[in-house]
Amino acid sequence: MRLTKRSVDAVMPEAVDRIYWDDELPMFGLRVRPAGKKTFVVQYRVGGGRKARLKKLTVGVYGTSTVDEARIEAKAVLRKAGLGEDPAEERLRHRTAATVAELIDIWSTTGVTTNRRTGEPRSQQNIANEVAQANHHLKPLIGHRPVVDLTQK
């Protein structure tokens, strides 16, 4: 079946998960859960041809993204997989990356005790000031952001 707004609206949930594959774009489909949730998925293999493990990645939720938007995202995923990249691994790495707040906590217990340039121990007053500044200014501003998202301007 060709996935369109009309065909996605017409699909009814069944007792088990079911995937309806698109006729236009191979490996792109609509997953319908028994509860009625509809998500767009793409299946791909990274390197190794048929011997490579088959992976499935969600590229959109019906209602928040349209069929066309999900199809464009699926094409991008398939393009990356064709180049040897693994989009699922990228998402996992991004999701599990340390945040700025976590790095500040690590730094405040281990890294702040020595001078960066000379390697000599620092005074307790300097340590307390820098930790307080990081906790007061950096954590509220960018503490929630993953470190991999930070760029230099």
* pLDDT tens readout for residues 72-127: 999 999 998 888 888 888 888 888 889 999 999 998 888 888 887 888 888 889 88
- Residue 136 in tokens: 């007061």
The per-residue pLDDT for 82 is 86
User: Contact at 8 Å (CB) between 60 and 54?
Assistant: no
CA angle 114, 116, 121 (to 5 degrees): 20
pLDDT digits (tens, 9 = 90+) for 38-83: 999 999 988 767 888 889 999 999 999 999 999 999 999 999 888 8
